[in-house]
Amino acid sequence: MREITVAAVQMFPKLGEQQDNLVRMGEWLDKICPQQRVDLVVFPELITTGYECGVRFTELAERVPGPTVNLIAQRASDYGTHILFGMVAKERVESVLYNAAVFIGPDGEVIGRYNKIHLRGEERLAFRPGFRYNVWETKFGHVGVMLGWDLAFPEVARSLALEGAEVVCACANWENPYGDEWRTYLLARAYENAVYVAGANRVGEEYTYDFFGDTMIVGPRGQVCGIVDGGEEGYAIARIDLDEIRRYREELQFFQCRQPQTYRAVVRKY
């Protein structure tokens, strides 16, 4: 059995207050990790800044690696765990910003970064879309990541699964009144790909958004392994067996029975 422990944090970031948010992230790690061996901790999208920062994203953006990443990397090393979290990232060209997720290993090294592809609403004004999905190899298995609205597109999770992902992390800022969609998509992506899905959604209010939480960890047959039910801060944690993925995929055969030559409409723009 390849058993690992995964935690998904449901947190209320303070808008534009990076240092406060980093302190809070550290407090959650201090609460979760000393109690048991945790292999992966997942934080929500844009957890270091909040969502409605507008033009302030330019001053809040950092390079990867940079001060924020270095701080979280130290915490990952302290606890010997993998940490995935959302932040605003920039390139050498200061005006090019990305809604990004950074994946850090238990040795404190950056394993990889994903730039969100499916930008929604005002995100298109602040960020440039990414162009590649990422699946990262770890000692326990393969991890893929989605950010926010990526979850609504089944092609994303399927692409990650075809690239070998066994755990798909959905770091999100999903707001009311879309709770039904959030819960349905998490279960559907797990079912249709026989993967574990760790969905970390934030809580709290900003200027025009009210975020509802419902962070959960879902198994490959849609079973809820851990959940934070409702809109309070907290975390979901679950001990999961990655060998279940191989067993279900062999039983159901839906990857082997795919007919890609019939899916041309999927890759047409309109």
Map 121-133 to HEC letters.
CCHHHHCCCCCCC
Mean pLDDT of the chain: 96
pLDDT at 229: 83
For the 3-267 domain, the top CATH level (class) is: alpha beta
Predicted pLDDT of residue 1: 78
| 119-171 tens-digit pLDDT | 999 999 999 999 999 999 999 999 999 999 999 999 999 999 999 999 999 99
CA-based nearest residue to 201, from 8, 52, 40, 44: 44
> Rounded mean pLDDT of 180-201?
98
What is the pLDDT at residue 234? 98
pLDDT digits (tens, 9 = 90+) for 126-140: 999 999 999 999 999
Token pair recorded at residue 104: 């850090």
Q: Is residue 60 pLDDT above 90, yes or no?
A: yes
99 contacts 124 by C-beta, under 8 angstroms: no
25-29, 53-57, 89-93: least confidently modelled range: 89-93
The pLDDT, as a whole number, for residue 143 is: 98
- How confident is the model over 201-214, as a mean pLDDT? 97
Q: pLDDT at position 269, please?
A: 83
Scan for tokens 């970064």, then name that residue: 113
Dihedral sign of CA atoms 159, 162, 163, 169 in order: positive
With a CB cutoff of 8 Å and minimum separation 6, the contacts of 104 are 69, 72, 73, 76, 82, 83, 84, 110, 111
Confidence of residue 230 (pLDDT cuts 50, 70, 90): confident
Q: What is the DSSP string of 168-232?
A: EEEEE--BTT-HHHHHHHHHHHHHHHT-EEEEEE-EEE-SS-EEE---EEE-TTS-EEEE--SSS
Closest-CA residue to 57 (of 86, 34, 83, 77): 86
CA distance 26 to 32: 10
Say if residue 248's pLDDT is above 90.
Answer: yes
Average pLDDT over every residue of 25-44: 97
